[in-house]
Structure 1
């Protein structure tokens, strides 16, 4: 799986939906994650380095200091709507596993450039089949489709702006603010 993106999830009180995409297939897996975990994943995907190490950066540094490397993340269970994951890592030549929340495991995976796997039964149960040739609402008019695209672009820019502010990257924040104002006008 690879990370297709992050989006706000209005139905879950400000949490985010992390969307995983099947690399050799057409299924997607949405996982609801917290704001801090979403920020940790987004910062790494956008190659934004905060002035001080964030929690997952610290964890990566400690794992490496002990001579270990994360090789893969495996989302291996879904129970009562909760996903479970394992971090599979090499500890000085010995393969080990660590139980983790998928959001934390994926935040580490992006830092180690590790593979992300999902159990096929979980994809069957919770995955969404994507028809990439016919994405979106076919019944929408071109004007409605353009408004939807602009809204999702606006939401993405606003999320990036918040991340830039949180990481004290004020130059990027100013540029994003200007883009948002231009899009709104």
Structure 2
């Protein structure tokens, strides 16, 4: 399968959907865009990496990873968004140390935040772009406004391309008893990130 190089078009925030950000990737040799709905922390980290003049007083998590990698001569060579299954993007980071390459699985938002810090190219496969890529007809005067995100979100609903780990409101549709069952399953599976999100939803209901 042929790889398609992507660049970061930008990040948009929705004024109508709290906490919803869209990371918009653009194919280098084409007009299609690949939108991914991400969380606030990842959006902030990517935005800081895009704005070279912004230097946080203390390293963010992705900055810490970069510092750690530099200390041990680990380089991220490229990031590949290699799979889209049931609305979830799967990505890999191709890393190198002592001329030995390793492939590390990563959430797409984390992989891109790190790719920016390593100046590593971002790719996806043509079949993924054919499936999830969209054409956005954007007015240049409003290109950086929330209107992009609203278009992306409405299209994303059709494709189901939210990044699953950042879907904070995905448990809102469940009843309280169902949430307690899901919490038990998540803890038994040692998926503590999911358990924390379910617990937060339960806490909101029981206030």
TM (norm. structure 2) is: 0.63
Question: Is this contact kept in 1: 2:12–2:145, CA < 8 A?
Answer: no
Partner of 2:71: 65
Distance change (3 Å), C-alpha of 1:130 and 1:51: same
Distance change (3 Å), C-alpha of 1:150 and 1:111: closer
Return the offset for 1:93. Answer: 0.6
Partner of 1:41: 46
Return the offset for 1:18. Answer: 0.1
Say which of 152, 156, 161 aligns to 2:145.
Answer: 152
Q: Describe the superposition over 1:76-100 as per-residue Cα deviations: whole angstroms up to 9, x where unpaired.
A: 0111111110011112111111000
Say which of 23, 27, 49 aligns to 1:22.
Answer: 27
Return the offset for 1:123. Answer: 0.4
SS in 2 for 1:89: strand
What is the root-mean-square deviation of aligned Cα atoms in Å?
2.3
Higher relative contact order (CA 8 A, sep 6+): 2
Q: Residues 101-180 of structure 1 correspond to what in structure 2 (within 5 A)?
A: 101-130=107-136, 135-136=138-139, 149=142, 152=145
Return the offset for 1:15. Answer: 2.1
Distance 1:24 1:128 in 2: 14
SS in 2 for 1:128: coil
SS in 2 for 1:51: coil
SS in 1 for 2:145: helix
Return the offset for 1:130. Answer: 4.6
Structure 2 unpaired stretches of 5+: 1-5, 147-207
Distance 1:102 1:130 in 2: 21
Structure 1 unpaired stretches of 5+: 137-144, 154-185
Return the offset for 1:129. Answer: 2.6
Q: Describe the superposition over 1:10-68 as per-residue Cα deviations: whole angstroms up to 9, x where unpaired.
A: 67641210000001111100001110000000011011110111100000111121111
Partner of 1:92: 98
Distance 2:132 2:42 in 1: 21
Distance change (3 Å), C-alpha of 1:53 and 1:89: same
SS in 1 for 2:25: strand
Partner of 1:171: none
